[in-house]
Amino acid sequence: MTLLRVENLQKSFGSLNVTRDVTLDVQAGEKHVIIGPNGAGKTSLINQIGGQMMPDSGRVLIDGVDATRLAPEQRARLGLGRTFQKNTLFQRLSVFENVRLGVQARFGNSFDLAQKADSRTDVNARAREVLDLLRLTALAERRVASISYGDQRQLEIAVALAGDPRILLLDEPTSGLSPAETGQLIEIIRSLPARLGILMIEHDMEVVFSLADHITVLYYGEVLASDKPEAVAVNERVREVYLGASI
Amino acid sequence: MSVPRVDPLPTRIPGRKPLVGEFAFFVIALAWPFLVGSYGTGLITETLIFAIAAMSLDLLMGYGGLVSFGHAAFFGVGAYALALSGVKLGLNPWAGILIAVVTSAVAALVIGYFCVRVSGVAFFMLTLAFGQLLYSGAVKWRGITGGSDGVGGFARPQLAGVSLDDPMYMYFACLLAFALSLWLLRRIIGSQFGHALVGLRENETRMRALGYSTDRLKLCAFVISGMFAGFSGALYAIYNSFISPDALSFAQSGMFLLMVVLGGVGSLVGPAIGAAVFLLMKQFVSSHTEHWLLIVGLVFICCVMFFRSGIYGFLKQWRERGARA
């Protein structure tokens, strides 16, 4: 089942074409990885899917619904969750509250003025479940600003998962992590719900080839190749411009 | 492992806390009129009224991160609604309070509709512009508002032979209004809406990516804040038996901002303390020198430079330091 479809997406800033006729799709349960050298337009593409940036033309379909002109919050309500390359968290709130707000967005009622937020036991229980899944339970009461960068990276995913999305966009989840932390994060991504469709940007080739079901290579805003990992690894053009001799 | 110290302000959402401070406050407040003369009672009555407006601004500013420079608009609309419903429509002043709250809510809904679309400095300037618009409306529309002469001559509320004309009853009515407002605002901040509002202050990009309708949340906060300000304005009109365009002026808006910052942003109690300190300062310094605003300005500068979290934040840090030592 196609959860996310990007069709002929175009975006330019003046003469700079950051996205050139990009088409790709993500199936339920698929881990689709986008790779490409710096400046290939990976984050711009993710931002156009998330709604943080508007494309010039082309379409974004979330679960069959045309979301091209929808605001980020409307896309989230269609089942799209995302993380950011640069941590986008509630720095001064607790780890638990960060995830709780994510759960509340989907399962709570944010216009309820009377009932205490603490008394929504269903919301709290789901928040604890997500913390467990991301191995953050021990840090629940800590303020985000006081936990390590690696833990913040994990929390970034926890917050995005809190609302139980069907599609998850991960913008370089391992950026800035130590090899040990990267290893743990791969384990966590592997343990995510099987039906979840994941579209992620990744630089670390080891991570890419250990996780990906499908790889799309971007080069100057254009899709250079989009195929199974085995096929991408031996693709002549990809080797030429990007992978070099490293594989 | 030591738990890192949490910044006292404005990160925390009130949860269960010992209510010793509140209890002591209300015991003293109940005994107050019997301890001091009518002058002291009047001063605290005024403080309680302004404290409600300052707390309402804190909901928007301290919890929602929306710094408004037009808060007097709702305070003034509430005050005029009460005055005019008595003078022009001959309505009972109790109904007048209700009308004041509803009118300021409607004003906040209309003004907020435009203001929440922008943020930061633009929000600040737009709220100021709307405030000035209402101010000039009150000055120019002489037929209704009496222009700069203001409106007077409306009755104070009465109930079962008890009239708010008696300063003592006026005081207790305002104390009750203050307690009710504090309780309601705390309740709102502790609700899911309040938590979402804090999330908005902390990170709007994240909130939108999570699916929150941030404009609607902001508008809702704006309306609630405006309603409490209008309530405060109605009490102010009752207290003075008179209302003039000064209540809508940007100086009044600035005063509310000052109270909030002086007392401690994002704590509700802080802005109430800020209101008290500001009015006491005004009272005592102005009896010694006409340049009292100069002194207030200096205190404000010191506060911003040395006590970033206001008087309440300072007291809290001081107490925590004491507890650790």
Residues B263-285: pLDDT tens digits?
Answer: 999 999 999 999 999 998 888 88
**Chain B nearest-CA residue for A73:** B211
Predicted confidence (pLDDT) per residue in B289-309, tens digit: 888 888 888 888 888 888 888
- Given an 8 Å threshold on Cβ–Cβ distance, is A159 in contact with B11? no
Pair B104, B161: CB distance under 8 Å: no
Structure confidence at residue A160 (pLDDT): 96
Cα of first residue to Cα of last residue in chain A, in angstroms, is 32
Specify if B108 maps to a domain. Answer: yes
Structure confidence at residue A6 (pLDDT): 96
Q: Which residues contact B22 (CB under 8 A, 6 or more apart)?
A: none
Which amino acid is it at B14?
P
pTM: 0.90
Block residue for tokens 């993710």? A46
Predicted confidence (pLDDT) per residue in B173-208, tens digit: 999 999 999 999 999 999 999 999 999 999 999 999
CA-closest candidate to residue A89, choices A146, A167, A4, A36: A146
- Given an 8 Å threshold on Cβ–Cβ distance, is B199 in contact with A101? yes
| Distance to chain A for B199, nearest Cα, Å | 7
| Distance to chain A for B192, nearest Cα, Å | 5
Coil, strand or helix at B319? helix
Output the average pLDDT for chain B. 88
Structure confidence at residue B17 (pLDDT): 57
Give φ, ψ of B208 to 5 degrees. Answer: -70, -40
Structure confidence at residue A144 (pLDDT): 96
Cα of first residue to Cα of last residue in chain B, in angstroms, is 18
Instruction: Inform me whether the pLDDT recorded for B28 exceeds 60.
Output: yes
- Given an 8 Å threshold on Cβ–Cβ distance, is A113 in contact with B205? no
Pair B275, B311: CB distance under 8 Å: no
Q: Is B88 on the interface with A (CB under 8 A)?
A: no
Structure confidence at residue B156 (pLDDT): 85
In angstroms, the CA B78 to CA B88 distance is 15
In angstroms, the CA B290 to CA B296 distance is 12
Instruction: Inform me whether the pLDDT recorded for B37 exceeds 90.
Output: no
Specify if B18 maps to a domain. Answer: no
* Residue of A90, A113, A162 with shortest CB distance to B202: A90
Give φ, ψ of A2 to 5 degrees. Answer: -80, 115
CA-closest candidate to residue A142, choices B1, B196, B323: B1
Going B242 to B245 to B251 to B257, the CA torsion angle's sign is positive
Specify if B4 maps to a domain. Answer: no
In angstroms, the CA B146 to CA B149 distance is 6
Give φ, ψ of B226 to 5 degrees. Answer: -65, -35
**Residue-number span of the structural domain to which B48 is assigned:** 35-250
What proportion of chain B, given as a percentage, has pLDDT over 70?
Answer: 93
Pair A101, A120: CB distance under 8 Å: no
Pair A107, A123: CB distance under 8 Å: yes
Structure confidence at residue A157 (pLDDT): 96
Specify if B98 maps to a domain. Answer: yes
Structure confidence at residue A127 (pLDDT): 96
Q: Is B2 on the interface with A (CB under 8 A)?
A: no
In angstroms, the CA A83 to CA A119 distance is 28
Q: Which residues contact B37 (CB under 8 A, 6 or more apart)?
A: none
* Residue of A71, A76, A101 with shortest CB distance to B195: A101
In angstroms, the CA B310 to CA A174 distance is 40
Size of interface A-B (CB pairs under 8 A): 113
Structure confidence at residue A244 (pLDDT): 61
| Partners of residue B191 on adjacent β-strands | A116
CA-closest candidate to residue A33, choices A181, A196, A214, A222: A214
Q: Which two tokens stand for residue B61?
A: 């500013």
Q: Is B202 on the interface with A (CB under 8 A)?
A: yes
- Given an 8 Å threshold on Cβ–Cβ distance, is A104 in contact with B192? yes
Q: In Å, how far are A58, A163, A164 from A68, measured between CA atoms?
A: 8, 21, 22
Q: Which residues contact A233 (CB under 8 A, 6 or more apart)?
A: A209, A243, A247
List of chain A residues with pLDDT < 70: 243-247
Going A99 to A100 to A106 to A107, the CA torsion angle's sign is positive
- Given an 8 Å threshold on Cβ–Cβ distance, is B188 in contact with A113? yes
Helix (H) or strand (E) holding B125: helix B121-140
In angstroms, the CA A46 to CA A38 distance is 14
Q: Which two tokens stand for residue A68?
A: 């091209």
Lowest mean pLDDT among A134-138, B16-20, B41-45, B92-96: B16-20
Coil, strand or helix at B186? helix
User: Binning pLDDT at 50, 70 and 90, where does residue B12 land?
Assistant: very low
Specify if B274 maps to a domain. Answer: no
| Distance to chain B for A167, nearest Cα, Å | 13
Specify if B125 maps to a domain. Answer: yes
- Which residues of B, range 148-187, sit inside 8 Å of A by Cβ? 187
Structure confidence at residue A74 (pLDDT): 96
Pair B266, B62: CB distance under 8 Å: yes
Q: In Å, how far are A223, B81, B253 from A56, measured between CA atoms?
A: 17, 50, 43
ipTM surpasses cut 0.90: yes
Best of B6, B186, B192 to mutate (most A CBs within 10 Å, chain A): B192
B117 or B3: whose pLDDT is higher?
Answer: B117
Instruction: Inform me whether the pLDDT recorded for B6 exceeds 90.
Output: no
A11 or B325: whose pLDDT is higher?
Answer: A11
Predicted confidence (pLDDT) per residue in B104-162, tens digit: 999 999 999 999 999 889 999 999 999 999 999 999 988 888 888 888 888 888 787 78
Structure confidence at residue B325 (pLDDT): 62
In this structure, are strands B162-163 and A65-66 parallel, antiparallel, or unpaired?
unpaired
In angstroms, the CA B62 to CA A25 distance is 43
| Distance to chain B for A52, nearest Cα, Å | 8
Specify if B281 maps to a domain. Answer: no
Q: Which two tokens stand for residue A78?
A: 């269609």
Best of B12, B117, B197, B206 to mutate (most A CBs within 10 Å, chain A): B206
Q: Is B215 on the interface with A (CB under 8 A)?
A: no
Block residue for tokens 């985000």? A144
In angstroms, the CA A240 to CA A247 distance is 11
Output the average pLDDT for chain A. 93
| Partners of residue A93 on adjacent β-strands | none
Helices (H), A21-87: 42-50, 72-77
Structure confidence at residue B282 (pLDDT): 86
**In chain A, what residues touch B198 (CB-CB under 8 Å)?**
90, 93
Can you count the helices (H) and strands (E) in chain B? Answer: 14, 4
Compute the residue count for chain A: 247
Compute the residue count for chain B: 325
**In chain B, what residues touch A78 (CB-CB under 8 Å)?**
none
Specify if B109 maps to a domain. Answer: yes
- Given an 8 Å threshold on Cβ–Cβ distance, is B205 in contact with A89? no
Structure confidence at residue B124 (pLDDT): 94
* Residue of B3, B7, B193 with shortest CB distance to A111: B193
Domains in chain B, number: 1
- Given an 8 Å threshold on Cβ–Cβ distance, is B191 in contact with A112? yes
Q: In Å, how far are A47, B14, B184, B265 from B313, measured between CA atoms?
A: 39, 14, 22, 9
